[in-house]
Amino acid sequence: MKLYGAMLSPFVRKVAVVLTEKGISFDLARGGPGSSDPDFLACSPLGKIPAIDDDGFQLADSTAIATYIDAQYPDPRLIPDDPRLKGKAVFWDEFADTVLGASGLKILFNRLVGPKLLKVGGDEVVALQGEAELPRWVDWLETAVPDEGWLLGETFSLGDIAVASTFRTLAYVGHGVDAAVRPKTAAWYARVAARPAWAAVAAQEEPIAQRIMSM
């Protein structure tokens, strides 16, 4: 499978971990904002990452891709069939992408991606706005994370992958999980990070992590 994007993106990492949990290998391909590669744009009409090409089937958006992959390659399921668990998995994925991510990416884009990677500058006012929004969500998460297991309880799901992936990206701008302040979230994150699929994706991300930390 071809996966367009860079691992720094929480959305791309989410798809990479979903694929790896299922034992599906992928080739990471360049693509993203500003790309004029017609193959990428055929997969991602909006020009965003991630996008995939699975044997000619082209799809964009991490949630759409994860939903497709989970149905097409159901072993193991990451979006449960049980209606209540399915609803919760979708909730956590949505929380990661549009709540935690929406605030956190204001910091990421304006302190790292814009000024350091794309060299187009950043808006510190927007970064500070993201920083002001974030505590509300991470404080709430600390009350919602279970002492053991996963966000759905016994069932590991797309929700765990999505929320953990957002935190991994936020760590690049100093907003990863702080164990001293949010120990339950930190313990849950450590359980996700200990999974072999997560570790394999983290190893693949290491070169970009090293590059960013040296900036």
Ligand X SMILES: N[C@@H](CCC(=O)N[C@@H](CS)C(=O)NCC(=O)O)C(=O)O
Binding site for ligand X (CB under 6 A): 9, 11, 32-33, 47-50, 61-63, 97
Nearer to ligand X by C-beta: 65 or 152? 65
**Number of C-beta neighbours around residue 71 at 10 A:** 10
Nearer to ligand X by C-beta: 10 or 80? 10
Nearer to ligand X by C-beta: 63 or 155? 63
Query: Minimum Å distance from CB 106 to ligand X?
Result: 12
Q: Which residue is listed with tokens 């956190």?
A: 104
**Number of C-beta neighbours around residue 81 at 10 A:** 8
Nearer to ligand X by C-beta: 3 or 145? 3
Query: Minimum Å distance from CB 61 to ligand X?
Result: 4
Long-range (24+ apart) CB contacts under 8 A made by 30-37 are 30/4, 30/6, 31/4, 31/5, 32/4, 32/5, 32/6, 33/118
Query: Minimum Å distance from CB 110 to ligand X?
Result: 13
d(CA 9, CA 11): 5
d(CA 160, CA 27): 23
Query: Minimum Å distance from CB 32 to ligand X?
Result: 5
